[in-house]
Amino acid sequence: MRKFTFFLTLIFLVVTASAQKGIVDCSQLVKSDILKREISYSVYLPEGYNESNRHYPVLYLLHGMWGNYSDWVTLGEVNRIASELITNGDIPEMIVIMPDGLTDAFYVNNYDNSIRWEDFFYKEFIPSIEKKYRILGNRNNRAIAGLSMGGYGALYHAIKHSAMYKNCYALSAAVIEVEPIKEGQKQAENNKAIQAKIWGPINAEGLPENYKKYSIQETIKAMESYKTPSAYEVMTGSNFGLPAITLDCGDDDFLLNQNMNLVRIMKEKQVPFEFRVREGSHTWEYWRTGLELALKTIGHSFRN
């Protein structure tokens, strides 16, 4: 019996080790003049990267609030999940970059420009990353995804910088809705500090000054009805259109209602998207299964 148990344990260890063939590094830094600091990031490289000369598609994978650049490695198990999918042929080999999003910028430039994360991302981070690693630096081979705050960030960047990304996968997206503060009403203290720093002071509408500028719902509302670009427009680069967008939120997630409101607005504006509601809540158990789905969706788009 002991020999049998030992044999099963040995098989488990061999299978586990063979499934995690990628290279993960959580010690990388990009020096930022814009942010006046060094920004950490994690990177997943597929097996054989160091021995090959080929270039790879890239996924920028964003963490949630109060998290950091290592979350998708330590809690999200990106190495295991990506390596298994690549080994099984479910997705093409790709590089996954996981930048630190800080906790006081929400992946945008905050109101007083004291933290210009968005400027850093496009002027310093992406150029540095796509120079350092062998990345196919074009729209057809670049995607963005994230969870919670990072799900919001993925949507924001996919919509505003649509010429950069082919695919966007937003897990439990923090597409926060803010109700106008009525005259004489006070802003909730737990919202005040974060909203004031990111979006600014309350304006005449009773909303933080930059709320509409950064709200995904308000951005979609302000669009004219979406027109899918023609094949000629896509081919000539005169109109890239939006990336393929997937919203994925658990049926017990506290952000489900906001996601469903966004779905309604996107339908009204005829914005193409996919909406997945699965069993689960705002947890890493949900996001790990979501990462597998996201990689499959993004990998399919890279192959096509």
pLDDT of the residue at 103: 82
**pLDDT by residue (tens digit) across 72-120?**
999 999 999 999 999 999 999 999 999 999 987 899 999 989 999 999 9
Asked if 215 and 125 touch (Cβ cutoff 8 Å), the reply is: no
Q: Residue 66 pLDDT > 60, yes or no?
A: yes
CATH architecture of 20-176+227-303: 3-Layer(aba) Sandwich (3.40)
pLDDT of the residue at 56: 98
DSSP 5-61: HHHHHHHHHHHHHHH--SEEEEEEEEEETTTTEEEEEEEEE-TTGGG----B-EEEE
Spatial separation of the C-alpha atoms in residues 11 and 80, rounded to whole Å: 16
The residue ranges of every structural domain in the chain are 20-176+227-303, 178-214
| Backbone dihedral region for residue 113 (phi beyond 0: left; psi -120 to 50: alpha; all else: beta) | left
Q: Find the range with the poorest average confidence among 10-24, 59-73, 165-179, 256-270.
A: 10-24
pLDDT of the residue at 222: 94
pLDDT of the residue at 1: 47
Q: Residue 234 pLDDT > 70, yes or no?
A: no
**pLDDT by residue (tens digit) across 236-280?**
666 779 999 999 999 999 999 999 999 999 999 999 999 999 999
Per cent of the chain over pLDDT 90 is: 77
Better-predicted residue by pLDDT, 102 or 190 = 102
pLDDT of the residue at 18: 40
* C-alpha to C-alpha distances, 291 to 61, 142, 243, 298, 301, nearest whole angstrom: 10, 16, 18, 10, 15
In the chain, beta strands by DSSP E: 23-32, 37-45, 58-62, 95-99, 142-147, 167-171, 244-250, 274-278
